[in-house]
Structure 1
Amino acid sequence: MREVAFIKQNKEKWLSFEKAVFNGEEMDSDELANQYIHLVNDLAYAQTYYPKSKVVVYLNQLAAKAFQKIYKTKREDTNRFVHFWKTEVPLLMYQYRKYVLLAFVIFTIFTVIGVLSAADDEDFVRGVLGDEYVNQTLENIDKGDPVAVYKSGSNWGSFIGITVNNLRVGVIAFVMGVFLGLGTVYILFNNCIMLGAFQYFFYERGVFWESVRGIWIHGSMEIFAIVIEAAAGLIMGASILFPGTHSRFESFKRGAKDGVKILISTFPFTFAAGFLEGFVTRYSDTMPNVLSVGIILATLGIISYYYLLYPYKVKNELHHQLIPALG
């Protein structure tokens, strides 16, 4: 069957299913399940005969949303708060996994640029971090405490100030996505250049390990969260650039809504990073290496699992639950 004929034959069926899934229109659960079966069959057919067609992307997105729609009808999912963290966010991360990958690629490229720029020009670090910070850190290095700047101020004062600043950066990284994603890329550029130059600065002075075991106690969650927040901004930007079968405004609303959910999901990790920076990092020079490294690996492992691995687990579990439910 030619693609045009295939689309014409099934268009009305897809639109009906789309209204139920995307617009929240009521549909009998048995009818929804029946239409889902047809959708999966159509998707398989399109993947076989029109693998590079936009209809495959459209049907795949529709099927992904169906997972969420049908699962919400399950009795045990009445707790909206639990559902948000346990199912909704992971499914969004799975659905938008390409944007998460893109955000990490951009993050890596810009950070490497920061490192290479600092290595090539000794004045680059001062231009990025400022003379006051560099001079203060050089004094701390001479005193044998490279990360002393993180020990200033009270525990609670540091925790609150740092957390508020990190939340502000994350929100800005997301909101700037409204400029077709370019604003988000700009925010990533600024922060990654600083990070690369910052770490090279310590490496150049022979205290790289001391900086890592101190700074990354809180930095693992802090930086990872910013990358996820940037991914949310890229999602919103892409929803404007690539509306697909929807109007540009409708696509933007969906992209912004999904992006906000992803943004909110990073807040607990940002709070945790602020707590670690305010109450734990200041003791990094006195704690055993095994403890500082253990904290770094644990924090990185937790946030990596939630955003990178757990979404696949949730998707596979729902898939296995839907097969008997829909059969």
Structure 2
Amino acid sequence: MSSDQALNAALLRSDRFRLEREADWLRLEEIVAKTEKGKARRLSDDDVLALPTLYRTLLSSLSIARENSLDAGLIDYLEGLALRSYFLVYGTQTGFARWLGGFFGGGWSRAVRAIGVDIWIALAVMAAGTAIGFFLVAGDADWFYALVPSGFADVRVPGASEQALRGTLFGAQQDEGLGVFAAFLFSNNAQVAILAFALGFAFAIPSILLLIHNMALLGAMLWVFAQRGLTGDFLGWLSIHGTTELFAILLAGAAGIHVGRSIAFPGTRSHLQAASDAGKRAALVMLGVIFMLICAGLLEGFARQLIDNTAGRFAVGGAMLLLWLIYFFGFGRGSQRSGG
């Protein structure tokens, strides 16, 4: 083989080597460049998690390039990137305060937007569950006792008078009436949120059934008040903490559905890789769900007790709903998305 042929063969090997691995190098270089410019908060959660893997892949590429005496310029580039990456991977680690700032500063909202399809699915399931509970009780009042725990079947039952039902919504009686029911709903919904996420791995079917059952309970109670023309007052009472609490349930259910859907339909990825990618996004969403449930508990414990009129309750509940919508779907869009 002539010297020209040998040179051409070496260049061909170098070009092929670059084409096979260049995408990972460029991604790593982009992560390093953003960090060096003080823009680490713009990194997506997937990029942060991928950093160690990309760094190890780079070192492997550098080792192969040296052993095969590939293009000197390519080796210099890989060595420079490896040096810059080393300080990022093994340098000072991000503290909790900084991580928390990144989480609320866009990480959480990006993770929620990344499961947008699953949120719509969970919303449809929850609406269907509410309708099922409502119409089952409307058709046969005995369904109420099958859906609602017996401990809450006092005056809030089918056939109760308007005066009795209104008394549980307003005034001092609410502490003995729906106040207890609200505490039950919060405890129950917190459990449902955790289970809806945890059961998502079973192709999301248990998560969907759990959402339907949970919302059927609410639908049954809604019918009791609707039969006496108290729909608005009941929804107002519920909205103070319900817009936050039910939103948390929605996100938890969507997170579970996201995991299950990714396992059932992994696309070009392996089932394990699909589950891993979905789990990372869903876990971020669930961290925020815990925060939302704490907020809902505070609203239920204080705001509901202090505001004794329907308009005020709708105002608080509506404001909280608007706040969550703005944060999830309007905040942090300038940053990279956290996944597909």
TM-score w.r.t. the length of structure 1 is 0.67
Equivalent of 1:300 in 321, 325, 328: 321
- SS at 1:280's partner residue? helix
Residues 1-327 of structure 1 correspond to what in structure 2 (within 5 A)?
21=47, 23-25=50-52, 79-138=98-157, 142-143=163-164, 144-147=166-169, 151-152=175-176, 164-284=187-307, 287-307=308-328, 309-310=329-330, 313-315=331-333, 317-318=334-335
Q: Give the drift of 1:248.
A: 1.4
- SS at 1:137's partner residue? coil
Q: CA RMSD in A?
A: 3.4
What letter is aligned with 2:332?
V
Q: 1:164 to 1:210 in 2, by over 3 A?
A: closer
Highest CA radius of gyration, 1 or 2? 2
- SS at 2:167's partner residue? coil
- SS at 1:185's partner residue? helix
What letter is aligned with 1:318?
S
Counterpart contact for 1:137–1:147, Cα < 8 Å: no
The sequence identity of aligned pairs, in percent, is 20
TM-score w.r.t. the length of structure 2 is 0.65
- SS at 2:156's partner residue? helix
Deviations 1:175-204 (A, max 9, x none): 010111111101101112112222111101
What letter is aligned with 2:50?
N
Deviations 1:30-54 (A, max 9, x none): x9xxxxxxxxxxxxxxxxxxxxxxx
What letter is aligned with 2:302?
F
Q: Give the drift of 1:292.
A: 1.8
Match of 2:70 in 1: none
Q: Give the drift of 1:14.
A: 5.0
Q: 1:227 to 1:292 in 2, by over 3 A?
A: same
CA distance in 1: counterparts of 2:310 and 2:184, whole angstroms: 27
CA distance in 2: counterparts of 1:264 and 1:293, whole angstroms: 27
Deviations 1:219-267 (A, max 9, x none): 1111111011100001111221122333212221222222111011112
- SS at 1:136's partner residue? coil
Q: 1:188 to 1:92 in 2, by over 3 A?
A: same
- SS at 2:257's partner residue? helix
Q: Give the drift of 1:83.
A: 0.7
Q: Give the drift of 1:280.
A: 2.6
- SS at 1:245's partner residue? coil
Deviations 1:303-327 (A, max 9, x none): 22223x22xx423x237xxxxxxxx
Q: Give the drift of 1:111.
A: 1.7
Q: For this pair of structures, how many residues does the alignment match?
A: 257
Q: Give the drift of 1:115.
A: 2.0
Deviations 1:120-148 (A, max 9, x none): 22222222114442333257954441337
CA distance in 2: counterparts of 1:109 and 1:18, whole angstroms: 43
Q: 1:271 to 1:140 in 2, by over 3 A?
A: farther
- SS at 1:318's partner residue? coil
CA distance in 2: counterparts of 1:152 and 1:24, whole angstroms: 55
Q: Give the drift of 1:279.
A: 2.0
Counterpart contact for 1:229–1:262, Cα < 8 Å: yes
Counterpart contact for 2:114–2:281, Cα < 8 Å: no
CA distance in 2: counterparts of 1:129 and 1:205, whole angstroms: 19
Q: Give the drift of 1:293.
A: 2.1
Counterpart contact for 1:115–1:199, Cα < 8 Å: yes
CA distance in 2: counterparts of 1:115 and 1:192, whole angstroms: 10
CA distance in 1: counterparts of 2:100 and 2:53, whole angstroms: 22
CA distance in 2: counterparts of 1:196 and 1:161, whole angstroms: 15
